[in-house]
Structure 1
Amino acid sequence: MLENNVILSIKGLNKTLGKKHILHDIDMECYGGEVFGFLGPNGAGKTTTIKIAVGLLNIDEGTIEICGYDVSKKFEQAMANVGGIVENPEMYKYLTGRENLRQYARMRGVEDEKRIDEVVNLVKLSNRIDEKVSKYSLGMRQRLGVAQALLHKPKLLVLDEPTNGLDPQGIKELRDVLKHIAHNDGVCVVVSSHLMSEMELMCDRVGIIANGKMIGTYSMEELTSRSNGSAAEYIIETDNAAKASELLSELFPCRVSENNDLVISVNIENEREEISRINAKLINSGFKLYTVHRTENKKLEDVFIELTGNKEGDGQIG
């Protein structure tokens, strides 16, 4: 993935709906060959940003370029490179999956019947494509929607909350399809969600939005590093946590928990040696030591909550 292969560029995007300033100076770049997660709490401005990017809402201020085409100035050229599902995929339920794809292909000027077979195979819907959509599960309709969005070979695929309502198997199947499209076909896949667990398994990078403002853009490695941190936390059960804390506070960051246990942080690089040193110091100082156990590292969900639930606005539209 090359950083100069910018497919979607958003700069200084602002949007006001009614009297509410929904988006505040949004800046974001997404590249070909990656799955980019657009992540934020419900109501943070994800769908509004996506609707503007795919031409469903007007730009108040700022610029959006798709494959180098300014959406405001060269709308048709920009949109020719876009495929997407915003909210729910719309289908004719009385038609079969294949008939739906043929209808959309005519609208998009796709004349090659082989292309329909290609996208159907890609989303693994071959065995059900000639059944009426009314018989499809939600997961099957989502896959058909992705096939429809890919028919004209877009450079940018935009999906708004695509896993809503899917069971775990359906989520995994969709995730595998999207990663294949990005990594094998060089498509820029932008997926919005409020679930960090989904993004962790699906995305190469994520952009985090809260209160209509971009918090930042991170690789999954950067977020994982934030969750692991440089310190390990231990809970030590002793006969006098307050006095133990006083004894050790000059050497290690520590506190007394609500359960009246000693909570202490040690450097991960010397973790075993430092815990051994702490235990020896407590015992040699006459404390009774009952249990010592390591707490779990912060989960990525915790990192997400820290990033979005701070002074930037608690994840709510302002």
Structure 2
Amino acid sequence: MEKVLEIKGLTKRYRNNRGIFDINLSVYKGDIFGLFGPNGVGKTTLIKTMTRLCNADQGEVSMFGYDVFLQFEKAMEKVGCIIETGVSFEYMTAFQNLQVVSRFYPHIPKTRIDEVLELVGLEKYKNEKVKGFSSGMKQRLALATALFSNPELVILDEPTSSMDIEGMIDFRNIIKRLSHEQQTTFFISSHFIHEMERMCNRIGILYDGRLITSGLVSEIINKNESLENYYLSQIQRVRGDESDVCFVREYNQ
């Protein structure tokens, strides 16, 4: 299998001693890799560090065989991202926002604007100003921006956090379709474990800044009733604190 993203020993420590520590993982062509963990465990820090928005203390990151820290432009050439919150010009329409984006990609025909707006379900709103959009619609526009250049790797940080159920389902279908039809690779962080179970073929669990486990979703579910049960068992293993995990299991029942 072709490696699209490889991370070795990546560490970023903040002054409060939080951050990410010794992260090692590989993502392969066509994967939908889900980085799962509660809020505050370091998911955004990992994404920012591996895309060089934060300086790493140590470690290596390569995309498509290029070192992100030494060959940044080459490494990111085929990458689309939404990190934290998608940025748009609220006084412009959705179409005008993507016109701005298109200026960075002169080799891509302008017809791509309508293509991605249709893909994310915003075509009928393309001439409306973004200031009137709901938070979920803004997330759809951010996704359209990330997909505009036909990237081979798409990195999405909590992309469905402000979407309703219909939006989540649409998003899931878009991701699975692009992975299946175009072999687009996705690296998606989220704290919605049930969405991860439905969408991803691989998953990694981040806890307290450390990647405590990773693997194929199908294999994990074969050995466990669900990703949720697997997650709880892994947290119990790491923490050695059975009482809290038992409480969560009883609550969910």
Determine if the TM-score, normalized by the shorter chain, exceeds 0.5. Answer: yes
Query: Unpaired runs of 5+ in structure 2?
Result: 242-253
Partner of 2:233: 306
Partner of 2:65: 68
Partner of 1:261: none
SS state of the match for residue 30, structure 2? coil
Alignment of 1:1-318 (within 5 A): 3=1, 5-228=2-225, 299-312=226-239
Q: Which amino acid aligns with 2:67?
A: D
Q: Kindly tell me: are residues 156 and 130 of structure 1, through their superposed partners in 2, closer, same or farther at Cα, counting changes over 3 Å?
A: same
Q: Kindly tell me: are residues 40 and 151 of structure 1, through their superposed partners in 2, closer, same or farther at Cα, counting changes over 3 Å?
A: same
Measured against aligned partners, the alpha-carbon deviations of 1:148-176 in whole angstroms (never above 9, x if no partner) come to 11111211101111111211111111111
Runs of 4+ in 1 over 3 A off after TM superposition: 108-111
Higher fraction of helix: 2
Using CA pairs under 8 Å that are at least 6 residues apart, name the structure with larger relative contact order, 1 or 2: 2
Q: Tell me the CA shift for residue 78 of structure 1.
A: 1.0
Distance 1:120 1:81 in 2: 20
| 8 Å Cα contact 2:139/2:162 also seen in 1 | no
Q: Tell me the CA shift for residue 144 of structure 1.
A: 1.1
| 8 Å Cα contact 2:30/2:179 also seen in 1 | yes
Q: Tell me the CA shift for residue 21 of structure 1.
A: 4.9
RMSD: 1.7
Q: Tell me the CA shift for residue 188 of structure 1.
A: 0.8
Q: Tell me the CA shift for residue 309 of structure 1.
A: 4.1
Measured against aligned partners, the alpha-carbon deviations of 1:187-215 in whole angstroms (never above 9, x if no partner) come to 11111012211101111110111111111
For the pair shown, which has the larger CA radius of gyration, 1 or 2?
Answer: 1
Q: Kindly tell me: are residues 95 and 200 of structure 1, through their superposed partners in 2, closer, same or farther at Cα, counting changes over 3 Å?
A: same
Q: Which amino acid aligns with 2:235?
A: T
Q: Which amino acid aligns with 1:137?
A: S
SS state of the match for residue 25, structure 2? strand
**Once structures 1 and 2 are overlaid, which stretch shifts more, 111-120 or 40-49?**
111-120
Measured against aligned partners, the alpha-carbon deviations of 1:29-57 in whole angstroms (never above 9, x if no partner) come to 11221211001122221111111122211
| 8 Å Cα contact 1:34/1:183 also seen in 2 | no
SS state of the match for residue 54, structure 2? coil
SS state of the match for residue 304, structure 1? helix
SS state of the match for residue 208, structure 1? strand
Distance 1:11 1:312 in 2: 24
SS state of the match for residue 107, structure 1? coil
Q: Tell me the CA shift for residue 26 of structure 1.
A: 0.4
SS state of the match for residue 224, structure 2? helix
Query: Unpaired runs of 5+ in structure 1?
Result: 229-298
Distance 2:238 2:118 in 1: 47
| 8 Å Cα contact 2:4/2:29 also seen in 1 | yes
| 8 Å Cα contact 2:9/2:24 also seen in 1 | yes
Q: Which amino acid aligns with 2:219?
A: E
Q: Kindly tell me: are residues 302 and 207 of structure 1, through their superposed partners in 2, closer, same or farther at Cα, counting changes over 3 Å?
A: same
* TM-score, with structure 1 as normaliser: 0.72
* TM-score, with structure 2 as normaliser: 0.90
**Once structures 1 and 2 are overlaid, which stretch shifts more, 89-98 or 213-222?**
213-222
| 8 Å Cα contact 1:81/1:154 also seen in 2 | yes
